[in-house]
Amino acid sequence: MKFTIALFVMLCATTLLLAQSVEIGSPPGRLVNIGGRKIHMICTGSGSPTVVLEAGASSFAIDWALVQPEIARTNRVCSYDRAGMGWSDPETGGPRGGVTVDLHTALEAAQEKPPYIMVGASLGGIYVRLFADQYPAEVVGMVLVDPASEDRLFLFFEGKPVAIASLTAEQRRSIIPPGPMRVPRRSPQTGVPFDRLPRELYELRIKLDTRLIASVPESVPYEVVVATAEQERASLAKLRERRTAQAHPLGDRPLVVLTRGVDSNQEVRDVHARLAGLSTNSRHTVVTDAGHEIHLFQPGAVIQAIRDVLEASRSKKKLPAR
């Protein structure tokens, strides 16, 4: 069975931390208690709406270091580490409320008040859309940074690639082999574009990633895999249902979708253009000379997108064309 990125990240969040020997030092933000577990949040600046930054798969709050200080000049802005990532405690005993509930609980516990502009990179694009679906009254705008989409997360079913969002719970479970599942290993992410972070943060990021990799056991119990896979399937199916049932699920809330210009194809651009259709007040931009981590390759493009959404949400006007 081939792991999806989302499933791998969710499994990371449900395992016990096994890598205490990798010293990562004190957190740059604060540890917020969400009921027996702590979530690491970095919140800076002041001014409403508050901008919430959701990192991609196997990514951390510090990955926003080239974006967050600029947004903090005018607005409150929070980045954070999901459960089991960075300095945040892992979940134990399998999936519970999930990423959106953790984030909402952490924001409340930290007394970070809505309204929010949600910014999601890669897999974070899935999570911020789920957050907006679950807490619609609290979200007034969104930026999707080379986002993952339910239309492009596939598994092989009956010999052909099928979107996970289109599978039933029974179909999804039927392709999980019995017994414990081995977790694929990888090396820490180094070099471009992560080395565009300040040197001390780049070196810290390698430690965080090394610790994350070491925290995942060689295999995961069948029951945990099944529960995690179903949580992923149900979430993707919900997003697909909302998008197809309503012409514009986000209404007129401002939305900017950014697509990498490097190593992207027309299919990716078309999928992102469809995501821009989530709102009647949206813009889709291909960022030239940017790879997947646009916030590291071309942070100025992300900063501008956030500022445009902030201004449009305040003024109730159309986003400017860029």
What is the C-alpha to C-alpha distance for residues 17 and 208, in angstroms, rounded to an integer? 12
CA 52 to each of CA 46, 105, 300: distance values in angstroms, whole numbers, following the listed order: 13, 13, 17
- Residue 146 resides in a domain: yes
Angstrom distance (rounded) from CA 299 to CA 36: 35
Residue 76 CA to residue 73 CA, distance in Å, equals 8
- The DSSP secondary-structure symbol of 173 reads H
199-238 pLDDT tens trace: 999 999 999 999 999 888 889 899 989 998 999 999 999 9
Residue 320 domain-assigned (yes or no): no
Quick check: 3 pLDDT over 90?
Answer: no
Q: Decide if 215 is inside a domain.
A: yes
Please state, in angstroms and rounded to a whole number, the distance separating the CA atoms of residues 262 and 292.
Answer: 8
CA nearest 220: which of 19, 81, 22, 13?
13
Q: Which domain holds residue 79?
A: 5-315
Torsion region of 117: left, alpha or beta (phi above 0 gives left; psi -120 to 50 gives alpha)? beta
The pLDDT assigned to 12 comes to: 53
Of 31 and 22, the one with more pLDDT: 31
Q: What angle do CA 216, 221, 223 make, to 5 degrees?
A: 125
DSSP 8-state symbol, 164: G
Please classify residue 147 by burial: count the beta carbons closer than 10 Å to its beta carbon, then call 0-12 exposed, 13-18 middle and 19+ buried.
buried
Residue 19, helix vs strand vs coil: coil
Residue 22's pLDDT is what? 73
**Is 321 a member of any domain?**
no
User: Between 106 and 6, where is the model more confident?
Assistant: 106
Q: What is the mean pLDDT of residues 159-180?
A: 95
What would the pLDDT profile of 135-168 be if each residue is shown by its tens digit? Answer: 999 999 999 999 999 999 999 999 999 999 999 9
**Residue 21, amino acid:** S
Q: Is residue 68 part of a domain?
A: yes
- R_g of the chain computed on alpha carbons: 19
pLDDT of res. 218: 87
Task: Say which amino acid occupies 23.
Answer: E
DSSP assignment letter at 32: E
Question: How many structural domains does the chain have?
Answer: 1
Residue 6: what pLDDT?
A: 55
Q: Is 322 inside a domain boundary?
A: no
Residue 52 C-beta-side C-alpha neighbours within 13 Å: 31
Q: What is the CATH number of the domain that holds 255?
A: 3.40.50.1820
Tokens representing 170? Answer: 């029974």
Q: Which helix (H) or strand (E) holds 238?
A: helix 222-245
Residue 270 lies in a domain: yes
Spatial contact of 87 and 27, defined as CB atoms under 8 Å apart: yes
**Residue 13 clears pLDDT 90, i.e. is over it:** no
